[in-house]
Copies of this chain bind each other. A is one copy, B any other.
Amino acid sequence: MKRFAIVGHQARTSGDFNLNDLPGSGGRMDILCRCINSSLLISHGVRDDVECYLVLAGDNRHHKTIRFSGKSVRSLSPDERSTGALIKKALSIPCGDMFRESSPGISVRQGGVKELLAEFSFAILDEKGSDIRETGHLPDSFLLSDSKNFTEDEVELMNDMPTYSVGPAVLHAEQAITVLMNEKDRRDTGWI
């Protein structure tokens, strides 16, 4: 299973944001919507071997995490607004420490990066890392930040995690995911 986790440092943790203003009222929720698209969708299909975790960290005290599973998600469209509506729905149901399904293949729980890093072994996708093309074995799971840098607390949790870069330009999170998936597609199918 391939996994992406994207930390939305300003992202709302309640479902009361406005779908007409995903960047402002959603706390750059537009970035997270695009990351769902780039992780899970290809032309006319869903990648069923990918899970994408959105870490909503806009409320300092209560982070939430939404998981989109390519294997079981239904009715996922590439546009930001429809993905925003699915996130809004997930944030509108009560949840505890365990994932609770809000729509087919989409689940939500309390907790953020700390809980996720305790469960899976992530690598960091960041411009300062090693070139993915020059790496013998690419990890399965990658952690990315939205438009903000990782916080000091997050960096502390990420101690010793390997860091990879997709290229010389500093890309948006969703663009970096697209480039990484292209590298993985090539390796998985023997194109390179």
Query: Which A residues are closer than 8 A to B by beta carbons?
Result: 19-20, 22-23, 30-31, 34, 37-38, 41-45, 77-82, 131, 133, 147, 166-172, 175, 178-179, 181-182, 185-186, 188-189, 191-192
For the complex of A and B, the 4 pairs showing the least CB-CB separation, nearest first, are: A30-B79, A43-B170, A168-B189, A169-B185
Q: What separation, in Å, do the CA atoms of A188 and B41 have in the docked complex?
A: 29
Q: Which residues of B contact A31 (CB under 8 A)?
A: 78
Closest to A47 in B: B169
The answer to whether residues A171 and B78 also contact, given A20-B20, A192-B133 and a CB cut-off of 8 A, is no
Q: What separation, in Å, do the CA atoms of A133 and B22 have in the docked complex?
A: 36
Residue from B30, B81, B171, B179 in contact with A22 in the complex, judged by beta carbons closer than 8 Å: B81
What 11 new A-B contacts, CB under 8 Å, besides A31-B78, A34-B34, A43-B147? A20-B20, A22-B81, A30-B78, A34-B78, A38-B175, A42-B172, A81-B81, A167-B186, A169-B181, A169-B182, A178-B178
A-B contact pairs, 26 of them (CB 8 A): A22-B79, A22-B81, A23-B77, A23-B82, A30-B79, A30-B80, A31-B78, A34-B37, A34-B78, A42-B171, A42-B172, A42-B175, A43-B147, A43-B170, A43-B172, A45-B170, A80-B80, A80-B81, A166-B182, A167-B182, A167-B191, A168-B186, A168-B189, A169-B181, A178-B178, A179-B182
Q: What separation, in Å, do the CA atoms of A38 and B172 have in the docked complex?
A: 9
Q: Which residues of B contact A23 (CB under 8 A)?
A: 77, 79, 82
- Give the Cβ gap from A80 to chain B, nearest Cβ, in Å: 5
Q: Could you tell me if A170 and B79 are in contact, using CB atoms closer than 8 angstroms?
A: no
Closest to A168 in B: B189
Closest to A45 in B: B170
Q: Which residues of B contact A178 (CB under 8 A)?
A: 171, 175, 178-179
